[in-house]
Structure 1
């Protein structure tokens, strides 16, 4: 198949950007962007690979557009979410029947644990707490957000201090034993988990109040009784997506782990477990609605195989749970297209942040050595990150057909991490063709408040050459010509020639693109003793702070601080 040119435009945003989203996971890419790339680079029936599959958007879009999908992730939680997202069709009648069984058996007893002493002032019906603000900063002055059991309008929403007898009732409930199994795994030492340990939370069960542990153990116990494996897994998907919300990681103003961190606030809230679980089953982003969408979009095209030969004989979907550095289950030159979102250095600590979910779902934690990240607690610096990433992209190169395309979406404010990615791709033999800035599906907590974080991802389109490339350096002196200050200033001037002002992140993004286009063509040497082997990109790497420093010294530019942002414009006084 011959593709004349890669995509060279940003895919327009869509309002329905979160379709079939059933579980929180980080760095999910907009489905409409993934769909556009898959349709552009492949034909129906061809095989699409995502070696870092995350929540499974690439797998889903491949199936929706009648391509075959191979998804892989080292983290078993990602494979669990992605596999359940892609599965189709699902017997939603059977799923609903199993949920009703749980509801009939448990709802009344669990809701009674959240019942308040005073009835609804509007109609006299029982009131139940939606959540209680009971963090340690409040001492004994807990606040309850209540809802009327009859569910009528805003008048059924009550907010007040918890009454002494209601607090005493909670203490009575929490004097009970947890009736069934709950995980008591000790959190490993880590960059993010140390925040919990400093707050006195050392084990998974300590992230929950005793009342919520009781409720969770009851629901989990009933889910385990479901005989149909597919239905049981989907119910566990709803259950695991309940956990963060009913933990001590949530406040009234901050969603849990929205800052990609285990952050236990002083004003954390205790949510009603049954309300949240039922929400994750039936809400418009719940499992039922999500599977209605995939049933409609994928239908019976989903046909899973345990081995690659199955894809060549009528099957359409294969999932792997292995390291991207060793894709031995995939034959040489068998993949038609790869779209992937590799780790962004150490910005998201997937092993640590999914530990809570994996503990509840009794998944393995024995994959940390192979995680591609930057993490001092794991003894992984930028050089080991680059080494492992290079191994992964050499494997991706191996399994791709010659002449076919690889799209990488990436985001980092430090070009040392960009350098690691670029070196990995170039060592593998991939040829870069173009770079496309793309708006994300939604801004993360850090992107929202930080003026020095990138607001857009960059999609880098590479091609595997039809013939082997030569990597020996033939002009080492060419590296001496690169002036990073000049690249930054030219990027700013070019942007400001078309716009009245430029944010610092917009200039950084433009400078990164210009830098990649200049340095990626430098020849490199694969010989182990070559002094230039790892230096092509690293010695020119820069970060967003350096961009700001260069622009501040430029007399033709005026620096402006506005809210949380930093902007530059032409200095008219000069």
Structure 2
């Protein structure tokens, strides 16, 4: 597509799309580089797809892939990765592995939470033969660029992504950057100049340490926290800070901050700020580093800067447009008087940053100007008061990750030096070839993307309350004059009145859009980082509720770069890689045709088994495929029917019997007839014994699963089982009324004449299961008839009861009982959460 100018008429076409940023049309047009990048929802996406994509044709579609299960180990020190920082980022070489597996050259890939655009960079780098071969891809015919569509809610993120994914004349950029540096040196060198002690020479400041001032609660005198807390000469923290005036022991939290009035020319207002004073200067002279205390000349320069007008534009927006209480990251202790963006900067650095931006905005070449702004924004994280100095490390260590914390010791770094170093870093990346399409909008509304046009989706979504992107990006976005519209920001955030349910709803809307735009039979990969089960279950349900079917869930070991299949999907404490697919059109037709007929269950199961990996080998061993186990196949079948509003046609017993009758079983896993030979051949080649699954016992369901596996090996007496069982039952869910081992055995297994418990024959198991279900339903009926909150209960009885009420379409009873259960019970059990959420939507 040819470069063009974005107009207000273009913007009007997309103005009502969710996530439209908070900005004037003028600011959006100035920042955009149409058609490939717009700082608003991109009006040219359909044109991009028409030019580069392949229409979906159901007839003759031969696409077939298994989930990607290989280990992924890519470092974060690649020059392209390091050129610009962001809160979270997946190495582009890691994403390339997924692209090379799931797609072919020319395919269109989507990342709806694109961040800095590493998916786009990966799509472009798939054309680079040495890089592809270097990450282990050997199919030369599959090497070639893919076309990426990148969307994100944050204008800061999409601006960075644009510059990672745009062709630009790198030599023209380098020349323009050096021109900017020359002018900066001429106009601003004096602010970083200091006298060399004992001589008449001048030196350049590397950084200045500023210390907050406090009021001693004992003597009421003002003191520098540096003087009170740091051993002078040794530069290490004291065991006990003491007031320099009266010697009283101090606790920083009990000391009041000293305040002083500051004037801001841009907003024309005075405000009380936390008082800080310069205490240490690091400077460079004659090729060596030195340190000194500020002298009268240094203080005079600081005062001169305080008294002058900066003279060019800089951001002075109220934080988050709400005044003092501007978000979850606002803290009374360390944000005293911080109400505007410019309050996060020393005036010296604000002056240099503003001067640099003014020089950049005078550039005539739009793409060179954009990369210059990218260069400037790449140093923002080290340019403000969030930059910490740690005496024990004898250096500045950057901001506290994922916060807006202002430390007691602030490192004010020479902006010109930062820019010079970052220019070298960017130039090592070299020339970027090709364009990805970048759009600033919410993933909850992709109406500018046609249905069934995307070949693959890779996303790394926000995870609960870990990072509040709109707050973290606000300072940087103020320099772009374009802010995140966080109405649809998918996070858990008190200030935005968003809890887990709101977070889940926004994720569900996003995944529904992904489902709509993805071609049938194609794959979605979700990389997810969270240690809270409720958040994991929220995203798992959001994926399934959209219509996707989860085929593989792997935990990711970032240290070793290895993955391991998650054997029990209700509990997770590690990073995850989730593989899910959009079912074929054929399956949708079958479901419509059969509805409650059991054929819909087997049509789903056939397609699901086709999509699952057959053999995963690692370290000369075969890894168990958890998704091929009976209970997970049943869970996926039930979830798919419930999510589509179709009655579940089979209970667990009939389904398990059907699995044995229709499919081939190996090592507790089920295979299609044309799959089992591949598995058997791998077993023979490796000369392996049976593959074993690991299962953590945390509730009744997992306890029964553990007993089934144990007793399938051989019958065992209670006395043999009991000590083994006690070893496994170490961490039972908080509200779980775990039955005694004897009850579990009595309800689920049979005894032989020697008193040994064994797994019932599948032909007779149905009667036992039905008796067990009746027993559980009686217990559930007791819960229904009781009053008040349930504090202890059998979760299996709740699951059986919810399933029974669902079949009776008694959605209100499900909602009523769910409201009597602890919130964690619903949020941390994907099956209960599924029944509750769908029922809630039916009665709402």
- Tell whether 2:283 aligns with 1:146: yes
- Cα distance in 1 for partners of 2:542, 2:79 equals 32
- Cα distance in 1 for partners of 2:202, 2:97 equals 51
- Cα distance in 2 for partners of 1:528, 1:487 equals 24
Residues 168, 528 of structure 1: CA spacing in aligned structure 2 closer, same or farther, 3 A cutoff?
farther
Residues 530, 393 of structure 1: CA spacing in aligned structure 2 closer, same or farther, 3 A cutoff?
farther
- Cα distance in 2 for partners of 1:135, 1:39 equals 51
**Residue in 2 that maps onto 1:157:** 289
**Residue in 2 that maps onto 1:484:** 698
Matches within 5 A, 1:136-535: 136=212, 137-138=225-226, 142-148=279-285, 150=286, 152=287, 156-188=288-320, 189-194=326-331, 198-253=335-390, 255-282=397-424, 284=425, 287-290=426-429, 292=430, 295=431, 299=433, 302-303=434-435, 317-365=436-484, 367-440=485-558, 456-466=574-584, 467-468=587-588, 470-471=641-642, 472=646, 474=648, 484-485=698-699
**Residue in 1 that maps onto 2:153:** 74
**Residue in 1 that maps onto 2:163:** 84
Q: Residue by residue, what CA displacement relative to the aligned partner does 1:252-309 show, whole Å, maximum 9, x if unpaired?
A: 3464444201000000111111111222222x2xx3223x0xx2xx52xx24xxxxxx
SS of the residue 1:252 aligns to? strand
Residues 409, 489 of structure 1: CA spacing in aligned structure 2 closer, same or farther, 3 A cutoff?
farther
The question of whether the paired residues in 2 share the 8 Å contact of 1:31 and 1:61 is answered with yes
- Cα distance in 1 for partners of 2:651, 2:306 equals 71
Residues 344, 335 of structure 1: CA spacing in aligned structure 2 closer, same or farther, 3 A cutoff?
same
- Cα distance in 2 for partners of 1:147, 1:489 equals 66
- Cα distance in 2 for partners of 1:381, 1:476 equals 35
The question of whether the paired residues in 2 share the 8 Å contact of 1:30 and 1:441 is answered with no
- Cα distance in 2 for partners of 1:533, 1:233 equals 52
Residues 25, 539 of structure 1: CA spacing in aligned structure 2 closer, same or farther, 3 A cutoff?
same
The question of whether the paired residues in 1 share the 8 Å contact of 2:520 and 2:582 is answered with yes
The question of whether the paired residues in 2 share the 8 Å contact of 1:439 and 1:455 is answered with no
**Residue in 1 that maps onto 2:123:** 62
Residues 397, 169 of structure 1: CA spacing in aligned structure 2 closer, same or farther, 3 A cutoff?
same
SS of the residue 2:461 aligns to? coil
Instruction: Indicate the structure whose relative CO is greater, using CA pairs within 8 Å and at least 6 residues apart.
Output: 1
SS of the residue 2:72 aligns to? coil
**Residue in 2 that maps onto 1:451:** none
- Cα distance in 1 for partners of 2:76, 2:348 equals 39
**Residue in 2 that maps onto 1:52:** 113
- Cα distance in 1 for partners of 2:97, 2:647 equals 37
Residues 257, 464 of structure 1: CA spacing in aligned structure 2 closer, same or farther, 3 A cutoff?
farther
SS of the residue 1:325 aligns to? coil
**Residue in 1 that maps onto 2:206:** 130
Matches within 5 A, 1:88-103: 88=167, 90-103=168-181
SS of the residue 1:377 aligns to? coil
The question of whether the paired residues in 2 share the 8 Å contact of 1:18 and 1:31 is answered with no
**Residue in 1 that maps onto 2:103:** 42
Normalised by the length of structure 1, the TM-score is 0.75
Per-residue deviation, 1:460: 0.4
Q: Could you say which structure has the larger radius of gyration?
A: 2
Residues 34, 369 of structure 1: CA spacing in aligned structure 2 closer, same or farther, 3 A cutoff?
same
- Tell whether 2:94 aligns with 1:33: yes
The structure 2 residue matched to 1:107, chosen from 185, 207, 214, is 185
- Cα distance in 1 for partners of 2:315, 2:530 equals 35
Normalised by the length of structure 2, the TM-score is 0.52
The question of whether the paired residues in 2 share the 8 Å contact of 1:195 and 1:263 is answered with no
- Cα distance in 1 for partners of 2:554, 2:278 equals 52
Per-residue deviation, 1:455: 8.4
- Cα distance in 2 for partners of 1:54, 1:490 equals 43
- Cα distance in 1 for partners of 2:559, 2:697 equals 35
Gapped regions of structure 2 (runs ≥ 5): 1-61, 127-144, 213-224, 227-275, 321-325, 391-395, 562-571, 589-639, 653-695, 710-729, 731-798, 830-844
Per-residue deviation, 1:16: 4.6
Gapped regions of structure 1 (runs ≥ 5): 304-316, 444-453, 495-503, 505-518, 544-574
- Cα distance in 2 for partners of 1:227, 1:436 equals 49
The question of whether the paired residues in 2 share the 8 Å contact of 1:187 and 1:193 is answered with no
- Cα distance in 1 for partners of 2:827, 2:79 equals 35
Per-residue deviation, 1:102: 1.4
